Structure formats: C-alpha cells, structure tokens
C-alpha cells in the first residue's frame, strides 16, 4: 500500500474575479521510501497540491473534490484539530524562503524543541536533547542550539528547516522548493543531505520544484504539471530522456545542458493560461505545436504509454 495516495484532487479559489481552478483532477501515489518530484512552472498548481495534502488551503480556497489517502485514511474530511496531530508528526513540510521561517528572537534549540513538544509529552530537557541529535544528523554542531537564527548562513538555515521537519520522525516529507534560494554549492550540500537522509531514515519524499535538474539528482519518479493538471508522470529517467507530452518535451528542451553538444534552446510560445477560464479541451492546446481538432474539445485523460502516464491525444488509450 502506498504511504500517500492523491486521487482526483481538485482545489479551487473563489476570488472576486471568478473561480480559479488551481488543481484539477490530480492523482499520484507515493510509496514507502520513494521520492517523487512534482515539477512545473509558476502557477501550475504544484505548491497548491502540496498545501492541499497538508490541508493548509485557506479561504477563499478549498478542496472541492478528491481524496488524499495517508496510510489508507482520507485526510480531506479531517478537522483542524485532527490535522494538527498529523502535520509535523506524520507528514511534515520544508518550505522555501528559509529566512522567514525561523523566529529571530528565539534560540535555535527552543524552536526545535517546540516542534517536538507540540506532539509528544516529554520534558523540555529531553526535547532539547532530541534537538541536538537532529542537528547532528543534518551536520550542524550540536553545541549551536544556543545560537539565534541570524548566526547561521542560508544553507545552514535550510538544514535547520530540514531538522525541524524531521524531529518527530515523520513518514512523509514534503519539500517545497527547498534549494531555490540557495547558491549552487549550498544547494549541492542540501540536496546531498536530503538524499542521504531519505535512504537512511526510510522517508517518503515529495519534492516540489521548478528545476527539473534538481529532480534528476534526487528523485525516483517525476510528475510534470501544467495549468493545474498532470501532463506526464513516470520514472525520472524515462520522462527526462524521452518526454512524450509536448509540454514536458518543450520544458526538458528549455534547460541548457551543462555538458555534451550545445543545441539551440526551445522556448514555448505564449504564456500559461489564467485558470479562471482555462482553455477548453486540453489546457495546453493553444501553445501546442501538435494541436489537433480533438484537443480543442476533449480533455485528454492520463493514460499508460511506453512505461509512463501521459495525458495527450497524440497517444490515444488502447
């Protein structure tokens, strides 16, 4: 049984200008010890998907339909009080923008201990001991629990955020752009840490990023989202080496390679649609070089093609 299963998730935001269909019919599974990358450009719904799993969608947004099964149990109908026992304890999240996530006036140890004391009835001393152990794990000297956030660099703060996420031994970690704000070398250090910890602790990881190359380094599976829907979903190597959906193909070819032959980069004409009035049929059809008549009227379903799932009329279901 997968640890996390998202079925036909639909999240909408009822704004003054209309209803934004931010996430539409998104389904995927996350097995134990598996890492799945959720990729796409700004506004494609990847962060909203993560927030929906955590039930952190605030009005005017709401989950309109679908299930989020965690160890077989649906989280969508759960109350806020019930979710509080799950967040941080069973499923935890690493956010982007680390400098805002730590409170500048509290010592690091107190902030880490607070994360434990929210969920477990142990003494403050025990919690601080746990905080030190977790700092060891992420490669920060344990004596530094008495330091304040400003005494750490950006990369170290991101390690601390990972430590906070791990301190209650969660089964699933959702990391939303964990390295986007970091420099190349700190990014390398943090990615290596995530990779090491994932295998060491047997975590299931959902990594959200706009950067396909980060997913290539860390993840087993990859789902590419466009305009609130999954365009292509499969093993990382399969999708990155031979993308089938015209959007994922264009996205992969928009990344400049570091080595090997230099080729002219492709760009996608137009811009992503506004999701108040998404295009009829396939949401990518106005920008797609292969658009056919059927694409304008009929929404393609995610179907199994060549060892991965694709939602595109070029690959009809058998």
Give the binding site for another protein (CB under 8 A): 41-42, 153, 155-156, 183-189, 191-192, 195, 210-214, 216-218, 236-237, 240-241, 250-252, 254-260, 262, 264-268, 271
Cα→Cα distances 238→37, 44, 63, 64, Å: 13, 22, 31, 32
Least CB distance to another protein at residue 149 (A): 15
Q: What is the residue whose two structure tokens read 């010890």?
A: 33
Least CB distance to another protein at residue 216 (A): 5
Nearer to another protein, 137 or 252 (CB): 252
Least CB distance to another protein at residue 46 (A): 12
Least CB distance to another protein at residue 208 (A): 15
116 vs 103: CA distance, rounded Å = 16
Least CB distance to another protein at residue 286 (A): 14
Nearer to another protein, 117 or 201 (CB): 201
Half-sphere exposure at residue 140, Cβ-oriented, CA atoms within 13 angstroms: 28
Pairing of strands 4-15, 61-70: antiparallel
Nearer to another protein, 60 or 257 (CB): 257
Nearer to another protein, 115 or 223 (CB): 223
207 forms bridges with which residues in the sheet? 37, 175
Least CB distance to another protein at residue 266 (A): 6
Least CB distance to another protein at residue 207 (A): 12
* Residue 238 contacts residue 307 (beta carbons within 8 Å): yes
Cα→Cα distances 272→15, 40, 92, 175, 181, Å: 19, 11, 30, 24, 24
Nearer to another protein, 9 or 268 (CB): 268
Prior bond of 60 cis (ω within 30°): yes
Nearer to another protein, 80 or 241 (CB): 241
Nearer to another protein, 265 or 317 (CB): 265
Nearer to another protein, 100 or 267 (CB): 267
> What backbone torsions phi and psi does residue 238 show, to the nearest 5 degrees?
-60, -50
* Residue 117 contacts residue 127 (beta carbons within 8 Å): yes
190 vs 177: CA distance, rounded Å = 12
Least CB distance to another protein at residue 247 (A): 9
What would the DSSP string read from start to end of 208-270? EES-HHHHHHH-SEEEEEETTEEEEEEEHHHHHHS--SHHHHHHHHTSPPSSS---PPP--SS
């Amino acid at each position: 049984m997968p640890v996390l299963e998202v079925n036909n998730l639909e999240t909408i935001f009822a704004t003054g200008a209309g209803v934004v269909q931010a996430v539409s019919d998104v389904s995927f599974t996350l097995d134990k010890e598996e890492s799945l990358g959720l990729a796409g450009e700004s506004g494609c719904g990847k962060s909203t998907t993560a927030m929906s799993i955590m039930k952190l969608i605030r009005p005017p947004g709401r989950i309109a339909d679908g299930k989020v099964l965690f160890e077989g149990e649906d989280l969508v109908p759960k109350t806020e009080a019930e979710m509080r026992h799950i967040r941080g304890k069973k499923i935890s999240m690493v956010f982007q923008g680390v400098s805002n996530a730590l409170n500048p006036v509290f010592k690091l140890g107190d902030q880490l201990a607070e994360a434990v004391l929210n969920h477990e009835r142990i003494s403050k001393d025990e919690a601080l001991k746990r905080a030190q152990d977790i700092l060891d794990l992420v490669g920060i000297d344990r004596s530094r629990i008495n330091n304040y956030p400003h005494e750490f660099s950006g990369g170290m703060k991101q390690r601390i955020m990972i430590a906070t996420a791990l301190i209650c031994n969660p089964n699933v970690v959702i990391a939303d752009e964990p390295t986007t704000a970091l420099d190349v070398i700190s990014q390398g250090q943090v990615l290596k840490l995530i990779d090491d910890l994932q295998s060491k602790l047997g975590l299931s990881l959902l990594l959200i990023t706009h950067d396909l190359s980060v997913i290539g380094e860390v993840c087993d599976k990859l789902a590419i989202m466009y305009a609130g829907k999954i365009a292509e979903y499969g093993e990382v190597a399969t999708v990155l080496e031979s993308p089938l959906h015209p959007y994922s193909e264009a996205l992969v070819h928009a990344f400049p390679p570091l080595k090997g032959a230099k080729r002219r980069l492709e760009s996608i004409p137009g811009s992503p649609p506004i999701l108040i009035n998404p295009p009829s049929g396939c949401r990518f059809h106005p920008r797609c070089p292969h658009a056919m008549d059927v694409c304008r009227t009929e929404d393609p379903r995610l179907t199994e093609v060549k060892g991965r799932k694709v939602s595109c009329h070029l690959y009809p279901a058998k």
